[in-house]
């Protein structure tokens, strides 16, 4: 009783501290903690809470020292342990949580709560062996609690997941025996334990044993999830090639849910496996009294029965699509029974007649269009257009839809025409006329959506998208930018009417970036609420362009947001794993681990992380001390994986596109783009490692402490202690060798304008002087390093050629003939972003060159100081100063001059500087009478103007800082 009273007193005293921490009043929390500690000096939890407040105030060293002292005392009370765990979570020192509870468990081995927390700490670290050990300790402590035992079993399964070879020979058999022990003793209590046993058997590919479990009493306990037992049973029978059972199972499921397309596909696939193998049933019935449909006629009868049994008022798409899928499978096998199944043309006509009013109709029908020849396709389109009753070829007598249903049917008709390639066979005049008609239909269709919410899509939005695609077809054929800008104007107007339509925003971002305008893109990207996993799947639509088009500050914000998502995921994924163990969701544990690994190796994560660090070296540095501080911070983060191991999680098919398959090559696009992205990522990683190695070499030559991290990580430093200069030489060699092998990417790649991926900047880097310049500066660093071993007086002019090589190469960075933003192409004035891209590449390179020059200065300063001391001691006349110092100063002066020229070129792109009023231009060539479009055009050009101004000014700002940086390097 006295002990409990003591606890209550402690809780009462600590409560004000917790309240202050919860409210974010950390200063008050420290004061409250000091008050408690005056009354009770040995109250460890109060000290921990004070340390937590200090950490949150940014006083990390004070808070950490307090935590270290408390950790060493090995506390055991639960309040202190929980508070310290919070501190370690916030500072991401997860191994210390395990160490903390490990020590507490030694002192209190019978404390269930401490052992449970220790188990979860090992889950967070992914330490499966320690998980198993701790779980068995819990099991011995509480043998009646099944979950602890199965925590140990799952930990063994995860060891098998980590080590596949040992998994099959040792871990999985052990996990199976442990589970069988509980089965024989009839101790199985929960569905999760049965599912874990099935997982083990499936990983061992013991399909017969798994089938016995599912068909036995334990299988009958799998009822919490709808159709779980049936689908698992079908999956196991598929592995055992028991196609009659699979077919029967899905046949039963379809009796209950006849609209499930997945069930229909499985049912038909199993049926045709029996057809292909010539299967003959031993008896008329299969499991549950259901006969397996082992012939085409039986499957046809089943499908037709489902169609006939439907209520006329409630038509389900599944059976009708199954009828078409049946015909597709029969046709692909050239079976004689195809006519009995039906005609593809007739079935598609009937399908449109029944479901043409649904937006999904187009997607359904495209699955089966390849069953038709060209004449049948024309007949289908003719039937559809006739049934809709809206002929778009009537010119001024254009008929508009009377209701949403008719409009949707017409929209499907247009989509199918494009899918069949009809739009690409049109003349230019017909294509533009159709685009204009679709815009009119879009405007008229807005009347059907007047009552819709802002978050709803307008019913006629796809008309506008189709009209824009036709304009882009014309642009692709003629190269006339007027069609691109018309498309942009129409999409901007479309967003006003349908702000929630992300398809408009996706296409707008793409078109703006194609034309070199990034300014409007962040607002469009944010309006789509790209959060969480979408940063990985969709981040590429902006991250590929933000630096290319000169928006450096926006790039820093964007990359930081993306990287933060991946880092937070690493923390949150462990919480999901812990919850899976707590609630017995063993089937999800492997999924979470694989998901976490997929995100850690994500192409988007690796690219954004690398670009962010390079950007930090470029932007946050205006003197060499700042460069060294930034490099010191970056060196602790450079844990790159091999480029061959990256995972492409991009969603490249998110943009709506109705082009025929012959024009869309998604698999080829992904393969080519991934190869280019990997190449670009490896190039950028090598550039980053080169710069870090150079900075480390400069610190070494000056006698200062090196960087915290190992800049040569992942590049063959066997003991992790590769000398900075050796690392620099190795990185430059790798970079030049890699560039020589990557000449396939020297020409910019072009992909589909709507649904293709984006190109990288690798072509500009490979064809320019950028890599050659870094190699020339490496030679300067090596030369200076050699000077530290030589007598400066013995150095002659012949050995000083490295400085001249740098200036000659750097001179190539200056972008000549920058005539502004516009060029005359085919007799028309068009916006051209070529100069902007070349300037951005040059600004990046001059930034890296400045860092390397700072490294040279770092190495020369000790030599200059030693020379000055030596000459002051001499009694005779002072010898002439070695030419090295003057040559270096000349190089720096020349680099400064080149930076000024780049500054002038960047300023020349600013419309204000060049006295160009972009907003007054009429590049979209929209007729004056279309007042709404003209207003939108002026808005578009004002966005273009602001974007180009921002690009110009941000480049000028970077160059201004580099100018200041170079001025500090003069010896």
CA within 13 Å, CB half, 402:
3
CB contact set of 887 (below 8 Å; sequence gap of 6+):
800, 803, 804
pLDDT interval class at 710 (50, 70, 90): very low
Partnered with residue 854 across adjacent β-strands are: none
Q: Which residue has the tokens 């009659």?
A: 244
Q: What is the mean pLDDT of residues 637-664?
A: 86
Residue of 10 and 456 predicted with greater confidence = 456
Query: Where are the domains positioned within the chain?
Result: 530-745, 768-870+879-971
Distance, in Å, from the CA atom of 861 to the CA atom of 858, rounded to the nearest integer, reads 6
Which of these, 882, 899, 695, 685, lies nearest to 778 by C-alpha position?
695
Q: Tell me: the pLDDT tens digits for 716-751?
A: 444 456 788 998 999 999 999 999 998 888 888 888
Which of these, 358, 274, 375, lies nearest to 321 by C-alpha position?
358
pLDDT exceeds 90 at position 427? yes
Partnered with residue 830 across adjacent β-strands are: 823
Distances (CA, A) of 735 to 732, 740, 855: 5, 9, 19
DSSP 919-968: GG--TT---TT-HHHHHHHHHHHHHHHHHHHHHHHHHHHHHHHHHHHHHT
CB contact set of 902 (below 8 Å; sequence gap of 6+):
813, 814, 815, 839, 842, 843, 846, 955, 959
pLDDT of residue 92: 83
Q: What is the mean pLDDT of residues 271-284?
A: 83
CB contact set of 549 (below 8 Å; sequence gap of 6+):
513, 516, 517, 518, 833, 836, 837, 840, 947, 951
pLDDT interval class at 231 (50, 70, 90): very high
pLDDT interval class at 923 (50, 70, 90): low
pLDDT interval class at 70 (50, 70, 90): very high
Q: Tell me: the pLDDT tens digits for 468-489?
A: 999 999 999 988 888 999 999 9
DSSP 145-183: -HHHHHHHHHHHHHHHHH-HHHIIIIIHHHHHHHHHHHH
CB contact set of 808 (below 8 Å; sequence gap of 6+):
none
pLDDT exceeds 80 at position 246? yes
Phi, psi of 185, deg, nearest 5: -85, 5
Least confident of 188-202, 230-244, 690-704, 827-841: 827-841
Contact assessment for residue 802 and residue 783, using Cβ atoms and an 8 Å cutoff:
yes
The interaxial angle of helices 931-967 and 603-619, nearest 10 deg, is 60
Residue 452 burial (C-beta neighbours within 10 Å; 0-12, 13-18, 19+): middle
pLDDT exceeds 80 at position 827? no
Please count the residues of the chain.
Answer: 971
pLDDT exceeds 60 at position 586? yes
CB contact set of 193 (below 8 Å; sequence gap of 6+):
146, 150, 179, 182, 584
Rg of the chain on CA atoms, in Å: 35
DSSP code of 793? Answer: G
Contact assessment for residue 592 and residue 576, using Cβ atoms and an 8 Å cutoff:
yes
Partnered with residue 872 across adjacent β-strands are: none
Distance, in Å, from the CA atom of 733 to the CA atom of 779, rounded to the nearest integer, reads 12
Least confident of 75-89, 818-832, 955-969: 818-832
Contact assessment for residue 74 and residue 104, using Cβ atoms and an 8 Å cutoff:
yes
Q: Tell me: the pLDDT tens digits for 349-358?
A: 999 999 999 9
For 521, the token pair is 């893109």
Q: What is the mean pLDDT of residues 309-321?
A: 88
Q: Tell me: the pLDDT tens digits for 119-157?
A: 999 999 999 999 999 999 999 999 989 999 999 999 999
Phi, psi of 463, deg, nearest 5: -60, -45
Say how many Å lie between the first and final Cα of the chain, rounded.
78
Residue of 817 and 895 predicted with greater confidence = 895
Continuous segment of H or E residues that includes residue 823: strand 822-825
Phi, psi of 750, deg, nearest 5: -115, 135
Q: Which residue has the tokens 């205006």?
A: 622
Distance, in Å, from the CA atom of 54 to the CA atom of 175, rounded to the nearest integer, reads 46
Q: What is the mean pLDDT of the chain?
A: 87
Distance, in Å, from the CA atom of 281 to the CA atom of 299, rounded to the nearest integer, reads 15
What is the percentage of the chain residues whose pLDDT exceeds 90?
A: 55
Q: What is the mean pLDDT of residues 810-836?
A: 71
Residue 835 burial (C-beta neighbours within 10 Å; 0-12, 13-18, 19+): buried
DSSP 824-888: EETTEEEE--HHHHHHHHHHHHHHHHHHHHHHHHHHHHHHHHHHHHHHHH-SSPPPPPPHHHHHH
Contact assessment for residue 572 and residue 560, using Cβ atoms and an 8 Å cutoff:
no
Query: For strand 828-831 and strand 822-825, is the pairing parallel, antiparallel, or unpaired?
Result: antiparallel
Question: 916-941 in b/e burial notation, b at 16+ Cβ within 10 A?
Answer: bebbebebbebeeeeeebbebbbebb
Q: What is the mean pLDDT of residues 79-108?
A: 92
pLDDT exceeds 80 at position 273? yes
pLDDT of residue 746: 85
Distance, in Å, from the CA atom of 817 to the CA atom of 33, rounded to the nearest integer, reads 68
Q: What is the mean pLDDT of residues 747-759?
A: 86
Residue 86 burial (C-beta neighbours within 10 Å; 0-12, 13-18, 19+): middle
pLDDT interval class at 8 (50, 70, 90): low
Distance, in Å, from the CA atom of 150 to the CA atom of 163, rounded to the nearest integer, reads 20
Contact assessment for residue 135 and residue 155, using Cβ atoms and an 8 Å cutoff:
yes
Distance, in Å, from the CA atom of 84 to the CA atom of 47, rounded to the nearest integer, reads 10
Q: What is the mean pLDDT of residues 273-289?
A: 72
For 147, the token pair is 């979950």
pLDDT exceeds 90 at position 938? no
pLDDT of residue 863: 85
pLDDT of residue 970: 87
pLDDT exceeds 50 at position 394? no
pLDDT of residue 3: 44
Q: What is the pTM of this model?
A: 0.89
CB contact set of 186 (below 8 Å; sequence gap of 6+):
none
pLDDT of residue 643: 80
pLDDT of residue 222: 86
Partnered with residue 824 across adjacent β-strands are: 829
Distance, in Å, from the CA atom of 492 to the CA atom of 468, rounded to the nearest integer, reads 11
Contact assessment for residue 514 and residue 487, using Cβ atoms and an 8 Å cutoff:
no
pLDDT of residue 796: 60
For 217, the token pair is 């009493």
pLDDT interval class at 918 (50, 70, 90): low
Continuous segment of H or E residues that includes residue 822: strand 822-825
Phi, psi of 538, deg, nearest 5: -120, -5
Q: What is the mean pLDDT of residues 912-934?
A: 62
């Amino acid at each position: 009783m006295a002990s409990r009273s003591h606890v209550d007193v402690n809780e009462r005293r600590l409560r004000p501290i917790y309240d202050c921490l919860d409210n974010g009043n950390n200063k008050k929390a420290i004061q409250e903690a000091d008050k408690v500690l005056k009354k009770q000096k040995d109250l460890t939890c109060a000290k921990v809470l004070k340390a937590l407040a200090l950490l949150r105030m940014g006083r990390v060293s004070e808070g950490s020292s307090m935590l270290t002292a408390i950790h060493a005392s090995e506390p055991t009370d639960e309040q202190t342990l929980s508070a310290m765990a919070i501190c370690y979570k916030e500072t991401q020192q997860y191994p210390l949580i395990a160490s903390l509870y490990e020590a507490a468990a030694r002192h209190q081995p019978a404390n269930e709560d401490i052992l449970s927390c220790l188990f979860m700490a090992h889950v967070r670290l992914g330490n499966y062996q320690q998980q198993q050990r701790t779980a068995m300790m819990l099991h011995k402590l509480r043998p009646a609690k099944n979950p602890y035992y199965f925590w140990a079993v799952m930990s063994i399964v995860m060891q098998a997941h980590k080590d596949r070879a040992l998994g099959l020979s040792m871990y999985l058999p052990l996990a199976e025996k442990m589970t069988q022990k509980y089965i024989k003793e009839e101790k199985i209590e929960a569905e999760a334990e049965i599912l874990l046993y099935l997982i083990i058997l499936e990983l061992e590919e013991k399909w017969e044993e798994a089938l016995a479990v599912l068909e036995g009493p334990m299988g009958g306990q799998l009822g919490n999830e709808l159709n779980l037992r049936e689908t698992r049973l079908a999956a196991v029978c598929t592995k055992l090639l028991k196609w009659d059972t699979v077919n029967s199972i899905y046949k039963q499921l379809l009796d209950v849910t006849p609209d499930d397309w997945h069930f229909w596909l499985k049912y038909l696939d199993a049926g045709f496996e029996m057809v292909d193998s010539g299967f003959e049933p031993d008896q008329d019935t299969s499991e549950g009294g259901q006969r397996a449909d082992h012939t085409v006629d039986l499957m046809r009868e089943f499908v037709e029965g489902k169609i006939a049994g439907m209520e006329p008022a409630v038509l389900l798409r599944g059976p009708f699509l199954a009828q078409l899928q049946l015909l597709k499978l029969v046709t692909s096998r050239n079976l004689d029974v195809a006519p009995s199944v039906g005609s593809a043309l007739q079935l598609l006509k009937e399908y449109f007649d029944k479901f043409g009013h649904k937006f999904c109709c187009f997607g359904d029908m495209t699955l089966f269009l390849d069953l038709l020849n060209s004449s049948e396709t024309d007949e289908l389109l003719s039937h559809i257009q006739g049934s809709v009753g809206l002929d778009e070829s009537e010119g001024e007598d254009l008929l508009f839809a009377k209701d949403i249903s008719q409009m949707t049917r017409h929209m499907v008709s247009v989509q199918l025409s494009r899918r069949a390639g009809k739009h690409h066979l049109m003349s230019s005049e017909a294509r533009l006329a159709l685009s204009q008609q679709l815009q009119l239909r879009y405007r008229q269709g807005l009347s059907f959506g007047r009552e819709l919410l802002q978050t709803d899509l307008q019913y006629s939005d796809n008309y506008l998208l189709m009209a824009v695609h036709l304009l882009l077809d014309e642009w692709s054929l003629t190269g006339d930018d007027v069609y691109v800008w018309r498309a942009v104007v129409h999409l901007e107007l479309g967003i006003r009417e349908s702000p929630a339509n992300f398809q408009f925003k996706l296409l707008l971002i793409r078109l703006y970036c194609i034309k070199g305008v990034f300014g409007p893109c962040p607002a469009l990207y944010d309006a789509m609420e790209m959060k969480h996993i979408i940063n990985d799947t969709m981040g590429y639509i902006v991250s590929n362009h933000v630096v290319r088009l000169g928006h450096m500050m926006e790039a820093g914000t964007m990359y930081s947001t993306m990287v933060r998502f991946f880092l937070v995921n690493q923390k949150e994924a462990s919480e999901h794993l812990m919850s899976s163990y707590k609630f017995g969701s063993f089937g999800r544990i492997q999924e979470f681990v694989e998901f976490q690994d997929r995100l850690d190796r994500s192409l988007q994560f690796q690219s954004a992380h690398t670009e962010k660090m390079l950007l930090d070296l470029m932007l946050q540095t205006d003197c060499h001390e700042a460069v060294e501080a930034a490099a010191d911070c970056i060196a602790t983060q450079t844990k790159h994986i091999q480029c061959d191991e990256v995972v492409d999680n991009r969603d490249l098919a998110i943009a709506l596109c109705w082009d025929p398959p012959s024009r869309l090559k998604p698999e080829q696009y992904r393969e080519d783009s991934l190869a280019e992205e990997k190449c670009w990522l490896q190039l950028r990683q090598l550039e980053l490692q080169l710069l870090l190695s150079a900075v480390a070499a400069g610190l070494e030559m000056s006698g200062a402490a090196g960087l915290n991290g190992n800049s040569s990580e992942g590049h063959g430093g066997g003991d992790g202690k590769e000398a900075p200069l050796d690392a620099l030489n190795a990185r430059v060699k790798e970079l030049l060798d890699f560039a020589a092998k990557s000449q396939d990417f020297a020409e910019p790649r072009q992909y589909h304008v709507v649904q293709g991926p984006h190109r990288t900047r690798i072509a500009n880097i490979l064809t320019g002087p950028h890599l050659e310049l870094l190699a020339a500066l490496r030679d300067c660093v090596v030369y200076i390093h050699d000077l530290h071993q030589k007598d400066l007086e013995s150095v002659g002019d012949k050995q000083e050629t490295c400085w001249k090589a740098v200036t000659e190469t750097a001179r190539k960075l200056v972008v000549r003939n920058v005539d502004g933003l516009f060029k005359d192409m085919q007799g028309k004035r068009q916006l051209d972003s070529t100069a902007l891209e070349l300037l951005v590449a040059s600004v990046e390179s001059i930034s890296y060159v400045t860092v390397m020059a700072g490294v040279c200065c770092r190495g020369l300063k000790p030599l200059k100081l030693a020379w000055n001391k030596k000459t002051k001691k001499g009694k005779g006349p002072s010898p002439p100063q070695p030419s090295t110092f003057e040559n270096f100063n000349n190089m720096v002066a020349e680099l400064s001059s080149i930076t000024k020229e780049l500054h002038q070129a960047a300023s020349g792109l600013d419309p204000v500087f060049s006295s160009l009023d972009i907003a007054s231009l009429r590049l979209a060539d929209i007729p004056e009478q279309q007042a709404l479009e003209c207003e939108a055009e002026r808005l578009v050009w004002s966005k273009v103007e602001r974007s180009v101004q921002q690009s110009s000014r941000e480049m000028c700002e970077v160059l201004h800082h580099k100018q200041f940086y170079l001025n500090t390097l003069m010896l």
